[in-house]
Amino acid sequence: MLKCEINYKHVYSAKETLRLELLGRNVIQFLMDTFWQAERSKKTKTFPQKIYNLLSSNYRTVFENPLDEEKNLPETYRKILLLTDYVCGMTDSFALNLRRELQHG
């Protein structure tokens, strides 16, 4: 049996691996759905404004001050980049803890 056949048969399809993949998918989907509601604002009166202020200030700064070549991009596209960059930049443990905090307090 080839090495990659063993991996697919015993590692990639193992129940623990599948559970971790499902958990990761659920965490990413929850975070993206939550942060998609964010609305840019310095104030934190509304729920979408509060979500926006939960984003890292470094990512917000890049979003709020686009480079010259990014200024012509639609804001929705830049928002997608902001959110995907933010979530992709999270460690697994940070993402999991953030999801737990936002869902369960």
Q: Which DSSP string do the residues of 26-95 spell out, in sequence order?
A: HHHHHHHHHHHT----S---SHHHHHHHHS-HHHHHHHHS--GGGTTS-HHHHHHHHHHHHHHTS-HHHH
CA–CA dist 79, 38 (Å, integer): 9
User: Which pLDDT score is estimated for 12?
Assistant: 67
- The answer to whether 85 and 58 have CB atoms below 8 angstroms apart is no
User: Which pLDDT score is estimated for 50?
Assistant: 93
What mean pLDDT is predicted for residues 13-30?
A: 90
User: Which pLDDT score is estimated for 41?
Assistant: 81
Q: What is the pTM of this model?
A: 0.81
Q: pLDDT > 90: what percent of the chain?
A: 73
Residue 13 has pLDDT above 90, yes or no: no
What mean pLDDT is predicted for residues 53-72?
A: 92
- For 85, half-sphere exposure in the C-beta direction (CA atoms, 13 angstrom radius) is 15
User: Which pLDDT score is estimated for 8?
Assistant: 60
User: Which pLDDT score is estimated for 15?
Assistant: 83
CB-count burial class (<10 Å; 0-12, 13-18, 19+) for 6: exposed
